[in-house]
Structure 1
Amino acid sequence: MDRLSIILTLMSGALITGALVITVFTLGYYNWWTIGGSAIIGFLLAWPSAFLVSQRIKRRDPEWSPDRDASDAAPVPKPGAKEI
């Protein structure tokens, strides 16, 4: 499992949801449907964006040495697998 992406999911979810809520408020929509829709979109985009950021951090870190080839990395890590 990619433990860094799990931690980054909390931050990216809050960032995406907050940005979407501020955007819909700026556009003049002040009802629960737009806030709920923004929360759902933020929830759905939180993990994929965190995974991409995690992979980018690890690619740029000169001290990082993964145990396997980069071509073996899948979008969804297998349970019980070693750190990517």
Structure 2
Amino acid sequence: MLPLLLVAEVVSPYRNHNDENYQRDYIDKGKQYQQRGISEYWIIDPQEQKVAVFLLVDGIYQATEFRGNQQIVSGTFPELKVTVARVLLAS
């Protein structure tokens, strides 16, 4: 089976950054994906109105955040043309 190239997660609602949902979606899953060598993953966060893109570089995720009408830049799929607003509308 081929490895996953991209995972996109919509964050579960959370009260604050210490909340269990926040910790699971932002911390725990990121560690799991990094260990599995998944090239790129996105955290789609409707509460914060942002998309965080994590790109695996030398075994460590490098994060970039995008908001509003910014076009999301994917290292794995550079031809992809989508804005944060469009992604949030679909989520």
- TM-score category by the smaller chain? 0.3 to 0.5
Query: Of Structure 1 and Structure 2, which has the larger fraction of its residues in helix?
Result: 1
> Could you state the TM-score of these two structures normalised by the residue count of structure 2?
0.32
Query: Of Structure 1 and Structure 2, which has the larger fraction of its residues in strand?
Result: 2
